Amino acid sequence: MEWAWVDPCDAGGSGDIVVTITATDGDTPDGQLIYSNGPWLPQELGCGDINAAQTTLTCPAHAGARSAEAIVTDPQGNEDKLSFNFDPCTNGCEGDACPL
């Protein structure tokens, strides 16, 4: 999972952020995987809903870090979750997308 702020990024934390999730399931075509997220923390400062492998979220102003959980579910109901935290104007990654 990776995320990148779309320029220009406001140091106050408002703006668009592109979230990219790379997921594979050996018995499910990529197009049948369902992408979502758990609750945002802080809850009132959520950036919208993850609904695809690549989603552009719009975040309201907030100077501190945010966190959420990305969820990928297959048609049989099996799911994988990955928690992520991000700061305003800071690109990053979690899980296997991060360089070693």
Domain range list for the chain: 2-24+33-88
**3 state DSSP class of 95:** helix
What DSSP designation does 32 have? G
Which pTM value belongs to this model?
Answer: 0.86
Instruction: Identify the pLDDT of residue 13.
Output: 63
User: Is-contact 66 40, C-beta < 8 A?
Assistant: yes
CATH topology of domain 2-24+33-88: Immunoglobulin-like (2.60.40)
Instruction: Identify the pLDDT of residue 8.
Output: 75
Question: Which two tokens mark 18?
Answer: 């592109």
Residue-wise pLDDT tens for the chain (100 aa)?
998 988 777 767 678 889 999 999 999 999 999 999 988 877 777 788 999 999 998 888 776 788 889 999 999 999 999 988 888 888 888 888 777 5
Instruction: Identify the pLDDT of residue 22.
Output: 92
